[in-house]
Structure 1
Amino acid sequence: MNDQPTPDPTMTRIGEAVRLGRSGQKVQARTALTALWDEIGADGDAFHRCTLAHYLADLQDTVDAELRWDERALAAVSDLTDDRAQRYLASLQVQAFLPSLHLNLADCHRRLGNAAQARTHLADVRQHLAHLPDDAYGEAIRAAVRDFAADDPTDSRP
């Protein structure tokens, strides 16, 4: 199986902006991704919307803004099919996106003091853990779930 991404100009632009953000140029990255969001539109390609919103959430200055982008990523994934995701990368499974998306939402709600909503999203994460690949990405998400649970004294599950 070819596990190389198919050329996609929008994904290239998203990747470039993500690299900007990771290099410390957070404002420039946020500006680039926000402009691209405006081009794609709220009803544009679900794969692009999900990916972009997921990364744009990490570039926000407030937890409230981060939460809004994480919610957009989760909403976009509901419109996404495996077929569409696999046109970009053959190994992608939409169900494997859900643990990370819900974990981000759980984290935002925890930081905002919304313990019940955080636990609800954490339960959603656990419900979808079986869809994670058995690789470094999957283990990173599983470790983050364990760490998240360890920070919550009311949650005794791993």
Structure 2
Amino acid sequence: MTRIGQTMMLLHGGDREEARNRFAALWSEIGADGDALHRCTLAHYMADAQDDPEDELAWDIRALAAADGLSQARLAEHHDSLAVRAFYPSLHLNLAADYVKLHRPEQARRHLDRAHDALDALADDAYGNDIREAVRRLERQLDAV
């Protein structure tokens, strides 16, 4: 998780290519069947490092699949205040945004509805409020299509 976090900082610092390279190396190390928490986290951020919307979608699908295999017990080993169900609003929001970029509004709407349905898992804090607002923005964008 430390190396994923360090690579995430590269990504947020604007070095997308180096972040992609490091995430790819970490993915090879973790493996497609590796620890679900590591796969979910890495795939979530690797999606953000992509330039091609199809590649972004593929990584966001991997992140969701890994979350589906993540147990609350495993997550608690990493941080006892996190809940697996709180991952889903963001994961589905990202997929909805991917499908919007790819001009696939029906699939976007399906994931946006799932994100909306999962919002109650979020705390009433800055992160939860940011996700709720992002869902509302994307809903308005899809409604305008």
TM-score, structure 1 as length reference: 0.89
How many residue pairs align between the two structures?
A: 145
- The residue that corresponds to 1:144 in the other structure is 134
8 Å CA contact 2:44–2:59 kept in 1: the answer is yes
Offset of residue 153 of structure 1: 2.3
Secondary structure at the aligned position of 1:24 is classed as coil
Query: Is 1:126 the counterpart of 2:116 in the alignment?
Result: yes
Offset of residue 128 of structure 1: 0.6
Letter in 2 for 1:51: T
Looking at secondary structure, tell me which structure has more helix per residue: 2
Letter in 1 for 2:143: P
- The residue that corresponds to 1:5 in the other structure is none
Decide which moves more: 68-77 or 83-92.
83-92
8 Å CA contact 2:109–2:142 kept in 1: the answer is no
Secondary structure at the aligned position of 2:50 is classed as coil
- The residue that corresponds to 1:27 in the other structure is 17
Selected match of 2:27 from 26, 37, 41: 37
Separation in 2, partners of 1:121, 1:74: 11
Unaligned runs of 5+ in 1: 1-10
* Residue identity (%): 51
Return closer, same or farther for 1:126/1:16 CA change in 2, 3 Å cut-off.
same
Q: Extract structure 1 runs of 4+ deviating beyond 6 A.
A: none
Listed as ranges, the matches of 1:4-153 within 5 Å are: 11-153=1-143
Larger Rg: 1
8 Å CA contact 2:36–2:66 kept in 1: the answer is yes
Unaligned runs of 5+ in 2: none
